[in-house]
Amino acid sequence: MSETVQTRPFAPFEWLLSGRYLRARRREGFISVIAGFSFLGIMLGVATLIIVMAVMNGFRKELLDKILGLNGHLLVQPLESPLTDWKDVADRISQVPGIKLAAPVVDGQGLGSSPYNASGIFIRGIRGEDLNSLPSIAKNIKQGSLEGFDEGQGVAIGRRLADSLSLHAGDMITLISPKGAVTPMGVTPRIKPYRIAAVFEIGMSEYDSGFVFMPLKEAQAYFNRNNDVSAIEVFTNNPDKIEAFRKSVTEAAGRPIFLVDWRQRNATFFNALQVERNVMFLILTLIVLVAALNIISGLIMLVKDKGSDIAILRTMGASQGAIMRIFLITGASIGVVGTITGFLVGVLICMNIESIRQFLSWLTSTEIFDPTIYFLSKLPAEIDFGETSAVVIMALTLSFLATLYPSWRAARLDPVEALRYE
């Protein structure tokens, strides 16, 4: 037997042999099928992980933008006495650095009706200048206008509400509130018609189908307010650092108040999204893990099939390290190519997710993404570079680890035993 020849790591002949083992002949077709399934498993696992994570990131971003675009990042509520000094308090809070808007509001629930239908609604009284300062409303007016909102008795309603009541800008909507006038017979509901000044569409079905904006003075009269407001919605320039504004807003208010931030108001909702996201990541990682196990089984079968080849290479002077590297390259190639292909497929689908959804809806004649269930009117996808990198690194690591044991077994093969019965 000749001496072991020391060659530099990953020499050309090692790559050549690895490539030949990947291109299995007819006699080794079953091994090739396993390698193909391993490649498909890793590709689909990586692509699915990237797509699902991007869609869930898109959900969170879109919902956060829409929720915080309509509701304040901080809600200032009165303590001890009603907010009759709301104008002064709002002015002082708006002077705090980092505060974009302090909008006094009057909130109440009611029923919106037309000659054709009726629907439960949430009525918010707000000043016209504050309503125009909310981009989610001011930039999404589909019918009518917000000009002269404070002076008139017109209201702004959501697009889905307008559709359900078969109403348009300029029509009359009847608002019914259970808190009406007090009579000797008890409290009678307040029923009053209002002209629809504007129809908006935020893109979140919960708001488009249930919100009605009314001039602040009119809302105070409608809900029997004694020149006070329900709360002050405070919008900041950085909702992620909301804790930094609590102390300054409390001091600027100059009166006893109770503060609630957006995380507290939506804690259950966003916590549920985070838990679902983490669970989906773990479940989909199993796809990549199963594909990596397929690499192990495929390589072990390849090592058994190529036992005599390995023995001949050893007798010709190939080192154990060279044999191990040959099978490392063979297995890792499947993982690397599968990961790169999965990454490209995932990114491509994420970039065209809405077009794909519309095509599938047309093909199956079904509503795949129902806005009434999922809150949003279109399917969002937001690729996060850090998460995508973690998915790719995880897939490459699992693919590499899967090749270690079969490669080690190939390197440990005894040439004498392998050629004994040849």
CB 214, CB 155: distance < 8 Å: yes
pLDDT at 182: 66
Q: What angle do CA 401, 405, 411 make, to 5 degrees?
A: 125
For 385-394, write each residue's pLDDT tens digit: 888 888 888 8
Closest to 235 (Cα-Cα) out of 89, 101, 70: 101
Question: Rounded to an integer, what distance in angstroms lies between the CA atom of residue 377 and that of residue 159?
Answer: 12
For 130-171, write each residue's pLDDT tens digit: 888 888 888 888 988 888 888 777 899 999 999 999 999 889
CA distances from 325 to 74, 203, 354, 400, 408 (A): 60, 55, 44, 12, 9
pLDDT above 70 covers a percentage of the chain that reads 82
pLDDT at 162: 92
pLDDT at 2: 45
Per-residue confidence at 5, pLDDT binned at 50, 70, 90? very low
CA distances from 255 to 92, 126, 225, 234, 295 (A): 11, 22, 20, 16, 68
Alpha helix stretches (DSSP H) within 306-384: 307-315, 320-351, 353-364, 371-374
For 349-369, write each residue's pLDDT tens digit: 888 888 887 888 788 877 766
pLDDT at 29: 52
* Six token digits for residue 41: 């498993």
Per-residue confidence at 30, pLDDT binned at 50, 70, 90? low
For 272-328, write each residue's pLDDT tens digit: 877 887 888 888 888 788 877 777 777 777 766 666 666 666 666 667 777 777 777
